[in-house]
Amino acid sequence: MVKSKVIEVKGSKITIISRNNRDYISLTDMVRHFEDGSVLIEKWLRNKNTIEFIGIWEQINNENFNSPEFEGIKNEAGLNRFTLSVKKWIEHTNAIGLFAKSGRYGGTYAHRDIAFEFGSWLSPEFKLYLIKEFQRLKEEESNRHQLEWNVSRTLAKVNYRIHTDAIKEKLIPEKLPKDRIQLVYASEADLLNVALFGQTAKEWRDQNLDTNGNIRDHSTIEQLVVLANLESINAMLIQQGMSQPERLRQLNGLAIQQMKSLLQSPSTKNLLE
């Protein structure tokens, strides 16, 4: 599955795709607000300095790069008859730094190193803003990963207490009625949603039409911790051959118990402070 992000640079929305653990930036989006548009990509690819740069990048980062073919292309660069498309570049050299994509998020994409070089060719100012917004995106992702690590750390600290604390507070979530338990859900993900949140993902979306994201995006840290536990427990119950209604009943009971324990846990309170 391709993961995409969008940043805004001087009024242009630019798509970034994660592919094989590398970030690729849409050159098509980068030229959208420039005069001549996509023609600029073709002009840039015909440039001899461009060929040398992307060729050296491939030699450093791509062990399957066809260097002899690259030399042939480089020797032709600069001639009046010379043309080069992304498709031709990839077919002849087995390059990985550029690719063309059709459909959703379609266009010409380049590895961030190459995209920054293209930005310099377009406009030094545009390149600086592009780098700034890209770095901001990476910082946000890093902060999110740190939060996920903290959640996992908290889970390890409170796991024992979750299973031993007595019930003292109002039930969170509410205990499901029998008719709700007997319903069969389309996916195991929705089974967990009902056990913890009391509703399916679609039911939540129907009630929150003006809200971005999904039910889990708007969960508290405590709910995410419990959800991680329920996923593991549900996998175990499936292996035991337990029916879906019975699993839902047990998971709902565990969700209630664990949420109460987490709300009383000093470890959770310290994470939130």
Rounded mean pLDDT of the chain?
82
- Per-residue pLDDT band at 168 (split at 50, 70, 90): very low
CB atoms within 10 A of CB 71: 11
Query: What pLDDT does 70 receive?
Result: 93
**pLDDT tens by residue, 11-67:** 889 999 988 888 999 999 999 888 877 789 999 998 999 999 999 999 999 999 999
Query: What pLDDT does 137 receive?
Result: 86
Question: What are the backbone dihedrals phi and psi of residue 17, each rounded to the nearest 5 degrees, phi first?
Answer: -115, 135
**What is the strand order of the sheet 107-111 is part of?**
3-9, 12-19, 22-26, 107-111, 98-101
**pLDDT tens by residue, 136-164:** 888 887 766 666 655 655 554 554 354 33
Residue 91's Cβ-side half-sphere holds a number of Cα atoms within 13 Å equal to: 6
Asked whether the predicted pLDDT for residue 2 surpasses 60, the reply is no
Query: What pLDDT does 26 receive?
Result: 93
Query: What pLDDT does 170 receive?
Result: 36
Query: What pLDDT does 243 receive?
Result: 86
Query: What pLDDT does 24 receive?
Result: 94
Between 1 and 204, name the one with better pLDDT. Answer: 204
Please name every residue paired with 249 in a beta bridge, in sequence order, or none if there are none. none
Enumerate residues 6+ apart whose C-beta is below 8 A from 101: 17, 107, 108, 109
Q: Which two tokens stand for residue 40?
A: 């600029």
**pLDDT tens by residue, 66-85:** 999 999 999 988 888 888 88
Q: How far apart are CA 49 and CA 52, in angstroms?
A: 5
Q: How far apart are CA 14 and CA 12, in angstroms?
A: 6
Phi-psi region of 166 (alpha: psi -120 to 50; beta: other; left: phi over 0): beta
**pLDDT tens by residue, 51-64:** 999 999 999 999 99
Query: What pLDDT does 113 receive?
Result: 93
- Per-residue pLDDT band at 173 (split at 50, 70, 90): low
Helices (H), the chain: 27-30, 39-46, 48-61, 67-76, 86-93, 112-122, 124-162, 178-181, 188-197, 201-207, 221-239, 244-264, 266-272
What residues does each domain of the chain span?
Answer: 3-122, 144-272
